[in-house]
Amino acid sequence: MAKVVVLRLGHRPGRDKRVTTHVGLVARAFGASGVVIAGVRDESVVRSLLKVRELWGCRDFFVEDGVDPVEYVERWKKGGGVVVHLTMYGVHVDDVIEHLRSLGRDLLVIVGAEKVPRVFYELADFNVAIGHQPHSEVAALAVFLDRLFGGRELRLICPDAKLYIVPQQRGKKVVRVERSDGLSP
Amino acid sequence: MAKVVVLRLGHRPGRDKRVTTHVGLVARAFGASGVVIAGVRDESVVRSLLKVRELWGCRDFFVEDGVDPVEYVERWKKGGGVVVHLTMYGVHVDDVIEHLRSLGRDLLVIVGAEKVPRVFYELADFNVAIGHQPHSEVAALAVFLDRLFGGRELRLICPDAKLYIVPQQRGKKVVRVERSDGLSP
């Protein structure tokens, strides 16, 4: 599978802080290579994401903010990548996911907040719906990546993690890794 | 499939307003029968959910808030229902989902905010992980329901909808239904 990057549009500092953080956490946990937050900078979101990365690993996962989204999308396409925009108005995910997988090309996955400017519908190679009901960009991203990676992403444990979980029927078991191999970030 | 209800724990008014709204929207869009919000009341969340229900239909989908969660869970179990708590510390979803489906019993799906009190790990019949990485209760709920209903839920159109979408490769096509059959809410 080629590289998958998530582009978050329309973040409003304060108001969207938690939802954008969830978008970034889902990007990392569901196997994307990084998340790019368009427009305004929001230190608190970036800080939360980097803190999770430090503890749970995958230090190659990148977080960028303050990016011009149209420029970013155009550069992505010039570089040979494919652009997918998740929107309830698009074509059903199950009707395109195999095609997307078969392309073997880098994917930029755009998720918006409330109103996404028309230009992104035009720039996207695929406008893809995770169902045609209003719900959540966090949910849409998760289900899209889950479909794309065929569920394998849910077994992710990062080799450089300081913490990992041992699954339990009841209660919590977290193992802290003490490293002397230079792998810790 | 028997009834599925979502119980949202730990909602903090203001701070969690958008995330709890997303939880409720995902519950509706992914085929649950209703969402119950524990503890404090938050009019703004309930209002958003009811507005979506009015436009996009499924008027049987119920929204309750201000509920005592322990009491609710205990009543659910007494009524013969099964309780699933979504947590990154639990057993992997793919290791239990078929079993859960095969039970044919009503399911209460608990999703928490940051810290979930220990009692819910104890009360739950199943503690289930949507992967073992930190991400989002919105994403966890969506992937769980998607697995449970086998993806069929993403074709949902409510018979009493005032609005529905005609999927498009580009742009938006929304149809407004004018009813004279008494079906509108």
- Predicted-complex ipTM score: 0.95
The dotted CATH code for B4-155 is 3.40.1280.10
Does B114 contact chain A (CB < 8 Å)? Answer: no
How many residues make up chain A in this entry? 185
pLDDT at A163 over 50: yes
Contacts of A170 (CB under 8 A, 6+ apart): B121, B122, B124, B127
Q: In this predicted structure, what is the pLDDT of residue B24? A: 98
**Nearest 5°: CA angle at B152, between B150 and B155?**
155
Residues 66-85 in A contacting B (C-alpha not used; CB under 8 Å): none
Distance from CA of A163 to the nearest CA of B (A): 10
Residue A179 banded pLDDT, cuts 50, 70, 90: low
3-state helix/strand/coil string of chain B? CCCEEEEECCCCCCCCHHHHHHHHHHHHHCCCCEEEEECCCCHHHHHHHHHHHHHHCCCCCEEEEEECHHHHHHHHHHCCCEEEEEEEEEEEHHHCHHHHHHHCCCEEEEECCCCCCHHHHHHCCEEEECCCCCCCHHHHHHHHHHHHCCCHHHHCCCCCCCEEECCCCCCCCEEECCCCCCCCC
Q: In this predicted structure, what is the pLDDT of residue A141? A: 98
Q: In this predicted structure, what is the pLDDT of residue A113? A: 87
Interface test with A, best of B12, B83, B138 (most A CBs within 10 A): B138
Q: In this predicted structure, what is the pLDDT of residue A184? A: 47
Residues of A in contact with B25 (CB under 8 A): 133-136
pTM above 0.90, yes or no: yes
Distance from CA of B181 to the nearest CA of A (A): 23
Does B8 contact chain A (CB < 8 Å)? Answer: no
Contact B155 A88 (CB under 8 A): no
Minimum-distance CB partner of B139 among A93, A139, A168: A139
A162: which 2 tokens? 């300081």
Q: In this predicted structure, what is the pLDDT of residue B184? A: 46
Mean local confidence (pLDDT), A59-76: 97
Does B157 contact chain A (CB < 8 Å)? Answer: yes
Mean pLDDT of chain A: 94
Domain coordinates in residue numbering, chain A: 4-155
Please, which residues bridge with residue B6 across strands? B35, B109
Contact A165 B92 (CB under 8 A): no
Can you tell me which residue has the tokens 């169902």?
A131
A102: which 2 tokens? 């078969």
Contact A15 B18 (CB under 8 A): yes
Contact A138 B139 (CB under 8 A): yes
Can you tell me which residue has the tokens 């998340």?
A35
Q: In this predicted structure, what is the pLDDT of residue A181? A: 56
Alpha carbon of A168 to those of A81, A176, B79, B146, B165: distances in Å? 40, 16, 26, 23, 42
Contacts of B28 (CB under 8 A, 6+ apart): A133, A135, B35, B49, B52, B53, B58, B61
Per-residue pLDDT tens listing for chain B (185 residues): 689 999 999 999 888 999 999 999 999 999 999 999 998 889 999 999 999 999 999 999 999 999 999 999 999 999 999 999 999 999 999 999 999 999 999 999 999 987 899 999 999 999 999 999 999 999 999 999 999 999 999 999 899 999 999 999 999 999 999 865 555 44
Residue type, A47: R
Contact A127 B156 (CB under 8 A): no
Residue A153 banded pLDDT, cuts 50, 70, 90: very high
Summarised one tens digit per residue, pLDDT across range A84-136 is 999 999 999 999 999 999 999 999 999 998 789 999 999 999 999 999 999 99
Mean local confidence (pLDDT), A125-153: 97
A3: which 2 tokens? 């590289």
Q: In this predicted structure, what is the pLDDT of residue A14? A: 84
Q: In this predicted structure, what is the pLDDT of residue A185? A: 43
- Closest to A65 in 3D by CA, of A51, A92, A47: A47
Q: In this predicted structure, what is the pLDDT of residue A169? A: 95
Complete DSSP assignment for A54-73: HHH--TT-EEEEEE-HHHHH
The chain B residue lying nearest A113, using CA atoms, is B18
